[in-house]
Structure 1
Amino acid sequence: MSKQVIVYTTNDCIECTMVKKVLTEEGIPFETRNVSTNPEYQKEVEDYGFLGVPVTVVGNRAVKGFTNELKELMDLAKKE
């Protein structure tokens, strides 16, 4: 797995927890960036075109929420 995975999150975000749980279960390593504690992370989320979280980023693709698109990103993250 060579592609970096980033999950933008906040405290007490249920969808964020679900995304991180699925990534962990799939054995996909990821970096967590909490927008509540770092304003720069919120700016990064906005640069991807989103206002809220969770936002999951793999390479140059980003998806918001716990959706079917997340599965596509997970597949992308598993490819070398």
Structure 2
Amino acid sequence: MDKKVTIYSKEICYYCTMAKKYLDKQGVDYKVVNVSKHPEEMEKMIKATGYKGVPQLEIGEEWVVGYNPKQIMKKLKSIE
């Protein structure tokens, strides 16, 4: 499944790991951005959503804040 998906995460983040495993299980290709190493990407994320916490997933042009499989799947289907 070729989707435009970016996951914003930190190295030590249980829910980030869960989100990545979920995407792997669904066969979704995604890009990982470590916001600890790329503060400019963290600013982009905060500007887009108003939230500092991770994981946040940019799916197409929409965002999912936190690890929420139902929302992730809904957004993935909307960009098919």
TM-score bracket relative to the smaller structure: 0.7 to 0.9
Tell me how large the CA RMSD over aligned residues is.
Answer: 1.5
Residue equivalent to 1:15: 15
The higher relative CO (CA closer than 8 Å, separation ≥ 6) is in 1
1:75 to 61, 64, 77: 77
Q: What do residues 28-71 of structure 1 show as CA deviations (whole Å, max 9, x unaligned)?
A: 00000000111111111112122111000111100111112122
* CA distance in structure 2 between the partners assigned to 1:21 and 1:75 by the alignment: 18
CA distance in 2, matches of 1:74, 1:14: 22
- Whether the 8 Å CA contact 2:3–2:60 is kept in 1: the answer is yes
Structure 1: where are the runs of 5+ without partners?
none
Measure the CA separation in 2 of the matches of 1:71 and 1:4.
13
Residues in 1 aligned to 2:76 and 2:21: alpha-carbon distance in whole angstroms: 12
Identity value in percent: 29
Amino acid at match of 2:20: K
Count of residues in Structure 1 that have an aligned counterpart in Structure 2: 78
The amino acid of 1:61's aligned partner reads: E
TM-score, with structure 1 as normaliser = 0.86
> Are the aligned partners of 2:7 and 2:30 in contact in 1 as well (CA < 8 Å)?
yes
